[in-house]
Amino acid sequence: MDGISGGIAVWQAAETAIKTGEQLVARYKAYKHANERLDDLILRIEGIWLRSTTQMSFVRKLPPSENLRLQTFQEECFRRLNVHLQTALVKLADISGQDLAAGINVAQLTIDAPLSKRLKYSLLEKHLKQLVSDLVSWHNTFDPSWYLLARIQHDDVDTLVAKADADHKDESVAVIKQIRELVQQPHTVRRDEKSLFVHSDYLTNERLAIEPTDLNLSRLRQSGQRVLLDTTTYPEGTDQRQAIRFMRGLARLLSSPEISNLSLLRCLGILELDGNNPKTRQYQYIFGLPPQDNPLSSLRAILVESSPSLDVKIDLAKSLAKALTSLHAADFVHKNIRPETIIVLESAHKEKSVPFLVGFESLRPSEAHSSLISDMAWERNVYRHPSRQGLRPQEYYTMQHDIYSLGVCLLEIGLWFSFVDYTQEHGVLPSPALPIEALLDKNNKRQEANEIKDLLVEMAREKLPSMMGRTYTEVVVSSLLCLDKDSDNVFTDSEDLHDEDGIAIGVAFIKHILMRLDSISL
């Protein structure tokens, strides 16, 4: 199938889903003012549907693309959405006992129906809750591919984005517009753009360290809002102008109000620190935290606590994968994913944990070649693919290297063991859960790195199935093998491994990692 045929298929699938959804939403309006609970659910469905139609209408207008994988994936998403909507129509007819096509007022007709009005409203409430759940689940699958649209290199797309942003004022469109501006003109600052660099009096003097990380908690001086401070250091020899461009680009992306829906914290500004070493420069990203003063810890810190419920661990994994997809869609690679760069906001009774990806010290745009210089810290190397270890890594950093790092973190979450122990007496040591001390003594560091990777894969295959199930195990193994060139790698297609705009690897990640995690039901 070529780009034109793919575009027609996407257009048809979107058109069908839009028509079905409009019929369904119109019929729900017959129940408005029936009772407060139904009103709230119908209002929520209308809000979700408004976002859905905005996105599908935009996709329908896109020019034919060479990104057939993205087109095919989105066509499949629209067809699945139509199935959900058609199913909802059938269930609604069963509940009402009426053909709603003529716009009949169901609130009046149900009085004389065989079922009592109260029972019908109870069934309808359950039906509406299920549809809300289905729509939210659908967006969890579709939205990552929506953000990949920002990477399509076509002038017509810019025109469509500008028009859609002006017509709808939808946050999802606004984020696409912002990402495209960052990708295409990363160093341009608009005249009307507020500076993201702030003065030290923007914050109070309060500083609370989050162990065992370099992160700190503070508060905004004026509002008292709790914020997270993420420090990044640029040593001697760094191109400071380029560093500031990278920071400004990330801060602009993360300043969007919708970013909090993507398991990333909203950036409120950047603070330059006064250091004692004139040869280095230090900055702090200032990230806003939710208004509730709930406990906040690093993933490293909570991994040494008692294991949470299975659903909490699955939700952690889903949110982290979602955050990584969002970052990659914006053309950034993280380069530093490990439990020290993941913070977790816990509810009062720890029945729910919300993770956020931070630690952006090494982050850069994906098209900017990373340095082939690294460090030898084993506690960092555990989360690096073997090709990125050592003082002189073999390969430039790519999105797949982030996926590998995520896989190691997902392995730890599944086993609920910290691979790294911080001790006062002996410093940083491998934990008993990660028996690599003998490997660390090898003279051949390349061999050491590959053997540790093999050990992680073995641990995933042998220990995870009984603890987390087959699907979770396959997700972790797929992540750990994402750069291998054998048949066990679900990313083996050359287009997945080496695509210039990153769209193919993005679609592959959504299908093989995100969707599989989302399919896990408890």
Q: What is the dihedral of CA 493, 499, 502, 504, to 10 degrees?
A: -40
- pLDDT of 110 reads 44
SS3 297: strand
Contact 69, 507 (CB under 8 A): yes
**Segment 195-218, tens digit of pLDDT:** 789 999 999 999 999 988 989 999
**Segment 2-11, tens digit of pLDDT:** 556 767 889 9
- pLDDT of 337 reads 94
Mean pLDDT of the region 150-176: 76
- pLDDT of 274 reads 79
Q: Which residues of 181-193 are buried (b: 16+ CB within 10 A; e: fewer)?
A: bbbeebeeeeeee
**Segment 284-301, tens digit of pLDDT:** 999 999 887 788 999 999
Contact 482, 404 (CB under 8 A): yes
Sheet holding 226-234, edge to edge: 197-198, 267-273, 281-288, 226-234, 215-219, 208-210
- pLDDT of 233 reads 82
Q: Give percent above pLDDT 70 in the chain.
A: 83
**Segment 428-437, tens digit of pLDDT:** 899 998 999 8
pLDDT averaged over the chain?
83
pLDDT at 473 over 50: yes
Spatial CA neighbour of 319 closest among 368, 276, 263, 397:
263
Say how far apart CA 226 and CA 290 lie, in whole Å. 8
**Segment 250-286, tens digit of pLDDT:** 888 788 776 766 678 999 999 998 766 767 788 999 9
Residues making up the chain, counted from first to last: 522
- pLDDT of 393 reads 61
